[in-house]
Amino acid sequence: MPLLVMKFGGTSVADLERIRNAAGKVQREVERGYDVIVIVSAMSGKTNELVGWVEQTSPLFDAREYDAVVSSGENVTAGLMSLTLQEMGVPARSWQGWQVPINTTDAHSAARFVDIPRDNIDRKFAEGFKVAVIAGFQGIGPDGRITTLGRGGSDTTAVAFAAAFGAERCDIYTDVDGIYTTDPRITNKARKLEKIAFEEMLELASLGAKVLQTRSVELAMRYKVRLRVLSSFEETDENSGTLVCDEDEIMESKVVNGVAYSREEAKITLVTVEDRPGISAAIFAPLADAGVNVDMIVQNISEKDYDDHPGSVTDMTFSVPINQVERARKVMEEARAAGHIAYEELIADTEVAKVSVVGIGMRSATGVAARMFRALADENINIKVIATSEIKISVLIERKYMELAVQALHDAFGLEAA
């Protein structure tokens, strides 16, 4: 039997009516001759509520219990989806992660897949069941406890099942009808892409585009899964939505193909750090050990020798997720108290956002950075930190200008027109 993976995100299963709508799409594929693996998210807002309950109960929570609580939203929708399909006359069975079992690492709240044995589900298909409904976002660790895969993790569950079961395609049904040049909620000039290259989607996702979890794109790229994003609220067929695929499948491409943003950023500066070999290691090793996720790093040696600082000093600036500022501060203060580093002051700026432009055409084009900086300058937006890689340029700016920056860059790189 040909097999499809169909994933429905939170808004697509937000209530019983929407679950029925999603089940209708599954039924249609079954009628066309497919066995279907359905991956469901929790009802929209549910996971946030569960996270809130955990944080209120225990601010420095035990990650195993966080996973026990936060994974539960998906259990409800998996059972309801299976029941809905049964009511429609489609033989379906639901599975929680541990029942499959979806084996993961023990990194609670950020676990990765180890393997997904097929036997149990294959056996059910062989018995005549047409649909296996899987609770997304969760698995079971080597210690036998429930794990979760990080926010947005159901996308990754879907791609992992598509790879494990050799699915013809992995369809991600969501509340927009495809992947756009930027978040269509930020500008109505955003244009839907017919196709996007794995590398570009990977960058966009890791730079904040929530439409797909980064890890899901990584897996799809590695296992050559045909990954598609499409609307759960519209009539859809084989040509709907946006296909994420190899770069050579794409005929037309611009230098920049997408603009991404992330609101949840903060900038930390250590003022007047000693400029000596080993100083970066002394700063970033303890941050890494404490699980602080450092993104951009800028070190700028002060050319001036301050009177009270013989020898040269440097300021060290780096960005971290906004909810890790206090942890980073604590780690730095401990390193200073232990005499591993010295700095005058730690300044945390929690009013920043990151805006990035992405395009594989950047590998060979020149002047992209200049064009980006010109567009921001024309809007009077000050750039605080810059980071570049082969196919992206990111800037940190004041958060209140984030939407304006996205719009300006979308215009500057001509993304509106096909």
Q: Which residues bind ligand ASP (CB under 6 A)?
A: 9-10, 41-42, 47, 73, 136-137, 151-155
Residue in the block written with tokens 């300044």? 347
Nearer to ligand ASP, 42 or 164 (CB): 42
Nearer to ligand ADP, 93 or 410 (CB): 410
Given candidates 47, 109, 148, 174, which one binds ligand ADP under the rule CB under 6 A? Answer: 174
Per CB under 5 A, 136 contacts Mg ion: no
Per CB under 5 A, 152 contacts Mg ion: yes
Nearer to ligand ASP, 56 or 366 (CB): 56
- Please choose, out of 31-39, 105-113, 205-213, 279-287, the segment that lies near ligand ADP by the rule CB under 6 A: 205-213
Nearer to ligand ADP, 18 or 93 (CB): 18
- State which of positions 135-164 bind ligand ADP (CB under 6 A): 152
Q: Which residues contact 181 (CB under 8 A, 6 or more apart)?
A: 190, 191, 193, 257, 258, 259, 410, 415, 416
Per CB under 6 A, 210 contacts ligand ADP: yes
The tokens describing 300, both together, are 């700028």
CB count, 10 Å around CB of 278? 11
Amino acid at 199: E
Nearer to Mg ion, 27 or 213 (CB): 213
| Partner that binds at residue 153, options Mg ion, ligand ASP, ligand ADP, none, CB closer than 5 to 8 Å by kind | ligand ASP
Compute the radius of gyration of the chain from its Cα atoms: 23
Q: How far is CA 328 from CA 137, 233, 295, 347, 399, in A?
A: 27, 42, 13, 11, 20
CB count, 10 Å around CB of 64? 15
The tokens describing 60, both together, are 């420095």
Q: What is the DSSP letter of 12?
A: G
- State which of positions 30-69 bind ligand ADP (CB under 6 A): 41
Per CB under 6 A, 180 contacts ligand ADP: yes
| Partner that binds at residue 183, options Mg ion, ligand ADP, ligand ASP, none, CB closer than 5 to 8 Å by kind | ligand ADP
How crowded is the C-beta side of 252, counted as CA atoms within 13 Å? 5
Using CB under 5 A as the criterion, which residues of the chain lie in contact with Mg ion when the complex forms? 9, 152
